[in-house]
């Protein structure tokens, strides 16, 4: 395993991060523990979760992912050996079973964090992230920003950072991060952090894969120059880049068969691009998933690649991508497809 310092923090994290949003829905507690045992044994020391997990978020299962991680840490006694990341849910009409309203007020940040700490059976979270912004913006498959004059949000970043600063001082969180954020948002937060002496984000968790490289347009330079490492999520585009759907190797229990509402990476252009990437993997003798993950691993702005799996076999293949180096010829073949079909699944 390879390790890097996460942004400007003192945290040393594995280049592969275990994503856990299937725990409690597609994976049982025993299966979640098995995945964490295997990943930890392979040198993965970085686990990412969220209060809203598993997905799809439902009242009946919300929070069970953190509970499963908590029982694993308690039984294994490895809390001091892992870097634990979680998130507070941003505004969403579909998730008011978590809290109503969903916002980043002092009351609700404290409620969310204390509930996560209880489920995780720990006194602190290493990286606490704002899952998505309070303001209305382009995310989750929306390519361009459209100004909405009816958006009630007013710039409260300084207030939110002040609340998080107190929690850092209390020892409940060590560092903060952003997620599903845009260039303006991250630069605004960095400016306030520096001018007001408030906590500085050390990471940004956004989508990044062969099917969605929009991070490169406005955020990659920020990530490098400001030391805010990308935690790349959906690096396989919900499993699409593994080739199992295109080749008919998927099972009824595969995510996109269970939850057809997650169609972000299944559009016509995305399917066409996927076939091109599968062809390149075949030509150069790679498993498609490993080639796709190795590409993400190689990007200089990526701090850690968040992989997810429902089986140990998938997890073994995904973690092994850390040992794959793509030749210039492979990278050029990938770039050729990207030039013809840039970001087919924003």
pLDDT at 262 over 70: yes
pLDDT at 235 over 70: yes
Adjacent-strand bridge partners of 86: 128
- Percent of the chain past pLDDT 90, that is, above it, reads 88
Give how far Cα 120 sits from Cα of 24, 109, 176, 254, Å. Answer: 14, 16, 18, 27
CA distance 206 to 141: 12
CA distance 139 to 252: 29
User: Known catalytic residues?
Assistant: 53
- Mean pLDDT over all residues of the chain? 95
Mean pLDDT confidence for 51-62: 95
- Say what the pLDDT of residue 213 is: 97
Give how far Cα 341 sits from Cα of 58, 69, 210, Å. Answer: 36, 39, 10
Pairing between β-strand 3-5 and β-strand 12-14 as defined by DSSP bridges: antiparallel
CA distance 207 to 20: 16
- Residue pair 230/300 in contact (Cβ under 8 Å)? The answer is no
CATH architecture entry for 3-340: Alpha-Beta Barrel (3.20)
CB atoms within 10 A of CB 37: 14
- Say what the pLDDT of residue 258 is: 67
- Residue pair 117/49 in contact (Cβ under 8 Å)? The answer is no
Contacts of 272 by beta carbon, 8 Å cutoff, 6+ apart:
341, 344
- Residue pair 209/242 in contact (Cβ under 8 Å)? The answer is no
CA distance 130 to 89: 7
Give how far Cα 216 sits from Cα of 209, 275, 335, Å. Answer: 11, 22, 13
pLDDT at 257 over 90: no
- Say what the pLDDT of residue 160 is: 98
Domain boundaries, the chain: 3-340
- Say what the pLDDT of residue 8 is: 96
Mean pLDDT confidence for 151-180: 97
CB atoms within 10 A of CB 275: 13
Q: How far apart are the first and last CA of the chain?
A: 30
Mean pLDDT confidence for 138-145: 87
- Say what the pLDDT of residue 230 is: 98
pLDDT at 44 over 70: yes
DSSP code of 329? H
What is the pTM assigned to this prediction? 0.95
Residue 294's nearest CA partner among 232, 343, 204 is 232
CB atoms within 10 A of CB 308: 25
Q: Tell me if residue 116 falls in helix, strand or coil.
A: helix
pLDDT at 24 over 70: yes
- Say what the pLDDT of residue 293 is: 98
- Residue 165 banded pLDDT, cuts 50, 70, 90: very high
- Which value, to the nearest 10 degrees, does the dihedral of the CA atoms of residues 194, 8, 115, 232 take? 120
CA distance 174 to 81: 15
- Residue 243 banded pLDDT, cuts 50, 70, 90: confident
Mean pLDDT confidence for 168-191: 98
Instruction: Enumerate the H helices of the chain as residue ranges.
Output: 29-41, 64-76, 106-120, 157-169, 183-196, 215-218, 220-225, 255-258, 268-284, 288-298, 312-319, 328-340
Mean pLDDT confidence for 85-96: 95
DSSP code of 133? -
């Amino acid at each position: 395993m390879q390790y890097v310092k996460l942004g400007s923090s003192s945290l040393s994290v594995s280049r592969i991060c275990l994503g856990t949003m299937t725990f409690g829905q597609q994976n049982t507690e025993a299966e979640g523990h098995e995945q964490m045992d295997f990943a930890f044994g392979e040198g993965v020391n970085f686990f990412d979760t969220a209060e809203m997990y598993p997905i799809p978020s439902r009242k009946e299962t919300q929070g069970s992912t953190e509970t499963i991680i908590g029982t694993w840490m308690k039984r294994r006694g490895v809390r001091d050996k892992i870097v634990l990341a979680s998130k507070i849910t941003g505004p969403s009409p579909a998730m008011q079973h978590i809290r109503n309203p969903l916002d980043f007020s002092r009351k609700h940040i404290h409620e969310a964090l204390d509930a996560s700490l209880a489920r995780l059976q720990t006194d602190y979270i290493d990286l606490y992230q704002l899952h998505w912004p309070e303001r209305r913006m382009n995310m989750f498959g929306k390519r361009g920003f459209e100004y909405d004059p009816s958006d009630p949000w007013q710039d409260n970043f300084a207030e939110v950072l002040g609340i998080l600063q107190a929690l850092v001082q209390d020892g409940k969180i060590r560092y903060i991060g952003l997620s599903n954020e845009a260039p303006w948002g991250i630069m605004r937060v960095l400016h306030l952090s520096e001018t007001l002496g408030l906590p500085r984000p050390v990471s940004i968790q956004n989508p990044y894969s062969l099917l969605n490289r929009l991070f490169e347009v406005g955020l990659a330079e920020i990530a490098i120059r400001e030391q805010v490492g990308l935690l790349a999520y959906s690096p396989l585009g919900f499993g699409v880049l593994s080739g199992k759907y295109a080749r008919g190797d998927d099972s009824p229990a595969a995510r996109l068969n269970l939850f057809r509402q997650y169609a972000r990476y299944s559009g016509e252009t995305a399917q066409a691009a996927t076939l091109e990437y599968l062809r390149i993997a075949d030509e150069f003798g790679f498993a498609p998933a490993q080639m796709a993950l190795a590409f993400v691993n190689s990007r200089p702005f990526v701090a850690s690649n968040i992989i997810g799996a429902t089986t140990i076999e998938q997890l073994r293949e995904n973690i092994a991508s850390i040992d794959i180096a793509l030749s210039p010829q492979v990278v050029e073949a990938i770039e050729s497809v990207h030039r013809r079909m840039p970001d087919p699944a924003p």
